[in-house]
Amino acid sequence: MEIMNKALSAKRFPAEHFLNRELSLLAFNRRVLGQAADAGVPLLERLRFLCIVSSNLDEFFEIRVAGLKEQIKLDAIAPSHDGLTPHEVFRLVSAQAHELVAEQYALLNDVMLPALDKQGIRFLKRNTWSEAQAAWIRDYFFREVMPVLTPIGLDPAHPFPRVLNKSLNFAIELEGKDAFGRSSGAAIVQAPRVLPRIIQLPGSIAGVPHGFVFLSSVLHAHVGELFAGMNVLGCYQFRATRNSDLWVDEEEIKNLRLALQGELPQRHFGDAVRLEVADSCSEVMTDFLLQQFALGYDDLYRVPGIVNLVRLMQVPDLVDRPDLKYPTFQPGLPKVLTKNYDVFASICKQDVLLHHPYQSFSPVVEFLEQAVDDPSVVAIKMTVYRTGTDSVLMELLLRAARQGKEVTVVVELMARFDEEANINWAARLEEVGAHVVYGVFGYKTHAKMLMVVRREDGEGGKSGSVLRRYVHLGTGNYHPRTAKLYTDFGLLTCNEGLCADVNEVFKQLTGLGKASKLNHLLLAPFTLHDAMLAAIRAEAANARAGKRVRIIAKMNALLEPEIIEALYDASQAGVAIDLLIRGACALRPGVEGLSENISVRSIVGRFLEHTRVFYFYADGAMKMYLSSADWMERNFFRRIELCFPVLDPKLKRRILKEGLMPYLADNSQAWEMDEDGDYRRKRSRKKGFSAQEALLAELSLAAPPG
């Protein structure tokens, strides 16, 4: 725990130097909502962005707001780095979240739904159903919906039911007595998750090419069928969001996998942190629901529409309108990887840099696939953080183990919201004889590395054979689906120094022993933080010596206070610092006398910006690093992270050309941050330039026909 204590005991810096993390995250979601509002974005993609905001807010409440509420419950009064107490942060977050949700629904109801309707994509309201539509929907209700519903009348024998996290539910107000003489006046109907929330009507009765009806509308129209002989006074959607952070006792735990398997079901029933209700919900019912969930009015979100906009995410996939979506593209390949290439021979020629999603993730899959089928390969080692429930990479590891190869997999069981999938993969891998370890308890293994050990003939005509290592290092997860949606870099190399370092890190993860000195890799929680501080301070020293200097850093979040203070110091020394921060940023740019040489911009576009790239001019050495880590306390001190230098000068220049400079030139999807944490979209009156579109044009192949 020594590393963690180092972070906790770090000296306090002036509170006015920092912005609040939670408010910065909400500001990021405003930028995502800006994409939904952008008429230049294809219409169905705008709908996706609207849904992404809801999905992000769900996690924000499940984790960040839940954490604030826990601090408030414990009467925590210690301020965060920005000087705000948990109570103060919660009040600000609540106000801004309510504003954001109101803007989101206004955009949906006033702009997007009418625009979709003009394109023949209609969400049919109950008061507009034709006779044929009403008849089809009634038949659907009795055939598909009613058999799986369980209405619960509330009385002493039927207390308020346990409501699953983020599930769709209906509160019913009733009058009259049932067959047993009961007249509680209220009931709850829970919508099973097996039921689709959006139902597509047959084209013959929809009246438009693409007609949809919400499950909530179907149930509203026929809720009386569930309460025969009683009068339904009101039917209101509601949805509770719960604390979803998992906790396990480090001192009591004996088997992490078993402990998590026991803990996961409780995630669905943690303390409630938010209540969403239809705006038509009566005051009496609203107060009753708040009481049941032990929430206050600050936690209440009345919405004019369905209570879970994430469900609209499926609509673009149900609508065959390519003209309303982003153009398709085929990811390219580096020149060294030609058709029918031998991965190992290609890597021996030179290091191979992959830039996803503009370039394909398939070489990584091919790397592992050829290793599995190659009799010369004797061992495979890999870290797994997020990989999905149907991962081709995991299937390849299973196959390798069945074939008798030495397979070692470091599975991070605490990867938030991927715990269940990772537990299942770990169990399957163990069944076929793979060595499965769960990293180091208390430190999430977030490093992305894959190593293959291959027996080869000796070089230079030497007799006998040698074991040679090949590795893949990346900034993103081993997840083929997200590799099509997230921007990331990956490096395939057989550089002896890098490979020896990767081997040493695997030894540290699977065995015991002191941390060894590495040749090239920077490893959190040991050397990464100090190395980044040293690189920033070296630029400041060079600036004071009158030398040429520059720092460009691209990441998802910048929050660690000592790094921020070092950047302030470098700015005051005259270092030009360009920061590309997609999400939360606690640094204040452009403050006179503090950070006037620092700019912060955020790129929000078609792809989720996920690359971590750190560039330092370093007196002409041009140090270039790729990393799995953001500049956050958790990444520096509570995670196992890798940061690796790019050693090939050509690849350094390529990363500068592809991964940094286009984003600094972007005047289409860039948002610039001011010293108060507010963002303004960068727009050109002349020709716009989008980094993502330019990289698509340069690196991907032509769109496939049709």
**What is the pLDDT, as a whole number, of residue 418?**
63
Average pLDDT, the chain: 90
Find the helix or strand (DSSP H, E) in which 7 lies: helix 2-8
Q: What is the pLDDT of residues 238-270, one digit of tens each?
A: 999 998 875 544 444 445 455 445 455 555 568
pLDDT greater than 60 at residue 619: yes
Active site residue 446: yes
Q: Count of H helices and E strands in the chain?
A: 23, 27
H helix intervals, 553-632: 561-573
**Could you tell me the pLDDT band of residue 685, with boundaries at 50, 70 and 90?**
confident
Contacts of 557 (CB under 8 A, 6+ apart): 581, 582, 583, 584, 585, 630, 631, 632
**What is the pLDDT, as a whole number, of residue 25?**
96
**What is the pLDDT, as a whole number, of residue 153?**
84
DSSP 104: H
**Could you tell me the pLDDT band of residue 11, with boundaries at 50, 70 and 90?**
low
**Calpha distance 86→71 (Å, rounded):** 6
Is the fold of 2-324 the same as that of 523-699? no
**Calpha distance 318→335 (Å, rounded):** 37
Contacts of 352 (CB under 8 A, 6+ apart): 334, 336, 337, 346, 363, 491, 492, 493
**Could you tell me the pLDDT band of residue 503, with boundaries at 50, 70 and 90?**
very high
Find the helix or strand (DSSP H, E) in which 73 lies: helix 66-73
Contacts of 241 (CB under 8 A, 6+ apart): 58, 61, 62, 165, 166, 272, 273, 274, 275, 276
Helix-helix angle 43-59:86-107, to 10 degrees = 160
**Could you tell me the pLDDT band of residue 387, with boundaries at 50, 70 and 90?**
confident
pLDDT greater than 70 at residue 200: yes
Three-state SS sequence of 530-574: HHHHHHHHHHHHHHHCCCCCCEEEEECCECCHHHHHHHHHHHHHC
pLDDT greater than 60 at residue 3: no
Q: What is the pLDDT of residues 567-595, one digit of tens each?
A: 999 999 999 999 999 999 999 999 999 99
**Could you tell me the pLDDT band of residue 1, with boundaries at 50, 70 and 90?**
very low
Q: Is the peptide bond before 86 cis (omega within 30 degrees of 0)?
A: no
**What is the pLDDT, as a whole number, of residue 181?**
56
pTM, rounded to two decimals: 0.92
**Calpha distance 242→192 (Å, rounded):** 18
C-beta separation of 468 from 376 below 8 A: no
pLDDT greater than 90 at residue 442: no
The residue ranges of every structural domain in the chain are 2-324, 343-518, 523-699
**Calpha distance 640→505 (Å, rounded):** 10
Question: Considering 446, 479, 529, 610, which one is annotated as catalytic?
Answer: 446
**Class level of CATH domain 2-324:** alpha beta
Contacts of 610 (CB under 8 A, 6+ apart): 475, 476, 486, 487, 488, 556, 582
Q: Write down the CATH superfamily of domain 343-518.
A: Endonuclease Chain A (3.30.870.10)
Share of the chain above pLDDT 90, in %: 76
Find the helix or strand (DSSP H, E) in which 380 lies: strand 377-384
CA proximity to 293, closest of 310, 269, 263: 269
C-beta separation of 598 from 577 below 8 A: yes
pLDDT greater than 90 at residue 146: yes
Contacts of 282 (CB under 8 A, 6+ apart): 173, 234, 236
Average pLDDT of 303-326? 95
H helix intervals, 482-632: 496-510, 528-544, 561-573
pLDDT greater than 60 at residue 384: yes
**Class level of CATH domain 523-699:** alpha beta
C-beta separation of 631 from 555 below 8 A: yes
pLDDT greater than 60 at residue 39: yes
C-beta separation of 612 from 628 below 8 A: yes
**What is the pLDDT, as a whole number, of residue 461?**
52
Share of the chain above pLDDT 70, in %: 91
Per-position DSSP letters for 447-473, written without gaps between them: --EEEEEEEEEPGGG-SSEEEEEEEEE
Q: Which range has highest mean pLDDT (300-304, 683-687, 698-702)?
A: 300-304
**What is the pLDDT, as a whole number, of residue 514?**
79
DSSP 198: E
**Calpha distance 340→625 (Å, rounded):** 31
Which residues make beta-bridge pairs with 624? 615
What token pair was written down for 610? 């996920």
Dihedral angle, C-alpha 136, 138, 144, 148, nearest 10 ° = 170
**Calpha distance 699→154 (Å, rounded):** 61
Residue with tokens 């995410």: 313
- Residue 626, Cβ density class (10 Å: 0-12 exposed, 13-18 middle, ≥19 buried): buried
Least confident stretch, 256-260, 514-518, 682-686: 256-260
- Residue 158, Cβ density class (10 Å: 0-12 exposed, 13-18 middle, ≥19 buried): middle
Q: Is the peptide bond before 525 cis (omega within 30 degrees of 0)?
A: yes
**Calpha distance 174→183 (Å, rounded):** 8
Backbone φ and ψ of 279, nearest 5°? -65, -10
Dihedral angle, C-alpha 693, 701, 451, 415, nearest 10 ° = 40
Instruction: Write the single-letter amino acid at 434.
Output: A
Average pLDDT of 2-21? 70
Q: Give me Rg for the CA atoms of the chain.
A: 28
**What is the pLDDT, as a whole number, of residue 341?**
78
